[in-house]
Amino acid sequence: MSSIYLIDYYSNNIRSLIHQASPLAKLIFLFLILVSIILSKSLSSLVFILGIIVVLFLIAKLPFLKIGKWALYPAFFALIFALSQIQYGLLPLQTLLRAITVALLVLLFVCTTPYPVFFSLLGRFSRVFANVLFMTYRYFFLIIDKLQTKIKLMKIRGVYAGGIWRSFKNIGALTAQLFIHSLEKSEKVYNLLLIRGYQGVIFSRISYKFKLSDLLLIGLGLIILMVAITP
Amino acid sequence: MHIHIPDGVLPIWLWVAGYLMTAIFLAIVLPKLKKEEKKFPLVGMASAIVLLITSIPLGLPVHLNLMVLIGLIVGPSWSLVVSFIVNLILASFGHGGLTIVGLNTIVFWTQALLGILLFKILSKLIKNYFASAGLATFISLLFSFLLIVGIVFISTVDPGEFLHREGEMGHLEISLRTFIILSSPLALLGSLMESIIIGFGVQYIKKVKSELLA
């Protein structure tokens, strides 16, 4: 839960070269490196890409060890897959390394690009997406507080007392309450938005012009791609 | 339940097909949903709840999805939007691969669609909302697990190609058997827990605010 809080904090409060780069340039860089990781056929090129990402984390002034721990979650699931490939030499290791490297790459992107900026890029494809993504982002932080308060109250009232069946019943009721609360809140929010002149459109002012540093970032992505696909 | 396969494992054609299918379905439903502005805040909140609940591991690396409940609340078309948004944001912090967002959207949406259909049928047959919602969720989740196994089955990853040793590696597929053995206990446990919780959740909503269920 706290990971999204911290991602939001890192993307909005740290100032670095990568934070200041154009979101579109970062998205192109992410795409190029993702393709490199997918097409890379050797362990050494994956290690090379991982090394570059670690360096970029340092340039972005992000706490690598703290964020790196989050990449272990996808690594666990990759382990299931890696174990299924255990008879194929180094392939399980490549699978694990791919999972960790992509997770770190995406984390680098979101920790240096505020979610609303990322969403406004996606929102260019659809008005529905732009609206729902912004509202999801906004409500996430409201609901997280609501949920934490409710969990505390439930614990005080002995949520786990009465056996596992009772616990499930309480969790089910808690989930239902969250949705009921959301319905009531969403009606209020919609009326408030209408008062403020909302017409189903969310505007953003993001520059899509590239600076020299943006072109350098894209250039780095292209070099990595060439290294990765060269046999 | 959704796919936790890391990027670069599934063949490109498969995850591209997942994105294409998602894009086609979205292209069909989005123009219709554009007119339902009043539902934007509710869908935003529903997505935020799923995002939050999905990010909480229940001890083991098992988490709830709530897609059946989402389907019952926001309906079939909006549940596609929720599925895509949740999987995209989850992938943005390393939960599920970025390349498989399309396939995961289909898996999530299948749960919602099947859940809606089964709940409609079962609630008429069994006059107990806990049992009908629980059973609908359990069957939907098991079906989506089979869908995931099916995706792994058709993926036929070729390790020999990765290692430049075509023809030397013998059997060229991921061991589906090992994958099923490792993932099915987690899938069964997760499905059972989610079914009970959704059963109680639907029962509660029916008692307190039945108009919430679409």
A187 vs B contacts (CB less than 8 Å): 41
Chain A: residue nearest B70 by CA? A179
Lowest mean pLDDT among A116-120, A223-227, B122-126, B145-149: A116-120
- The percentage of chain A sitting over the pLDDT mark of 90, rounded to a whole number, equals 16
Q: Do B197 and A136 touch (CB under 8 A)?
A: no
Task: Assign a CATH topology to domain B12-212.
Answer: Arp2/3 complex 21 kDa subunit ARPC3 (1.10.1760)
Q: Do B97 and A3 touch (CB under 8 A)?
A: no
- List the pLDDT tens digit at each of the 214 positions of chain B: 666 677 777 788 888 999 999 999 999 999 888 888 888 888 988 898 888 888 776 666 677 888 999 999 999 999 999 999 999 888 877 677 788 899 999 999 999 999 999 999 999 898 899 999 999 999 999 999 999 888 888 776 554 444 444 444 443 456 777 778 877 888 888 889 999 999 999 999 999 888 878 6
Q: Give B111's contacts (C-beta < 8 A, 6+ positions apart).
A: B1, B65, B67, B68, B71, B140, B141, B143, B144
Q: Do A87 and B48 touch (CB under 8 A)?
A: no
Q: Do B182 and A183 touch (CB under 8 A)?
A: no
Q: Do A77 and B5 touch (CB under 8 A)?
A: yes
Q: Do B34 and A127 touch (CB under 8 A)?
A: yes
Q: Could you tell me if residue A114 is left (phi over 0), alpha (psi between -120 and 50 degrees) or otherwise beta?
A: beta
Q: What is the mean pLDDT of residues A56-63?
A: 93
Nearest to B12 among A38, A71, A94 (CB): A38
Reading the block at residue B130, the tokens are 């806990």
Reading the block at residue A135, the tokens are 């509202």
Alpha-carbon distance of A70 to A14, in angstroms, equals 19
Answer for the pair B142, B36: CB distance below 8 angstroms, yes or no: no
Answer for the pair B54, B90: CB distance below 8 angstroms, yes or no: yes
A111 to chain B nearest CA, in Å?
A: 9
Chain A: residue nearest B133 by CA? A172
| Residue A205 confidence (pLDDT) | 66
Answer for the pair B6, A77: CB distance below 8 angstroms, yes or no: yes
* Opening angle at CA A112, ends A145 and B87, nearest 5: 60
CB neighbourhood size of A134 (10 A): 19
Answer for the pair B84, B42: CB distance below 8 angstroms, yes or no: no
How many Cβ pairs within 8 Å bridge chains A and B?
235
B125 to chain A nearest CA, in Å?
A: 23
Q: Do A179 and B49 touch (CB under 8 A)?
A: yes
pTM of the model: 0.81
Nearest to A77 among B61, B64, B69 (CB): B61
Answer for the pair B141, B149: CB distance below 8 angstroms, yes or no: no
Chain A: residue nearest B41 by CA? A186
A43 vs B contacts (CB less than 8 Å): none
A185 vs B contacts (CB less than 8 Å): 41, 45
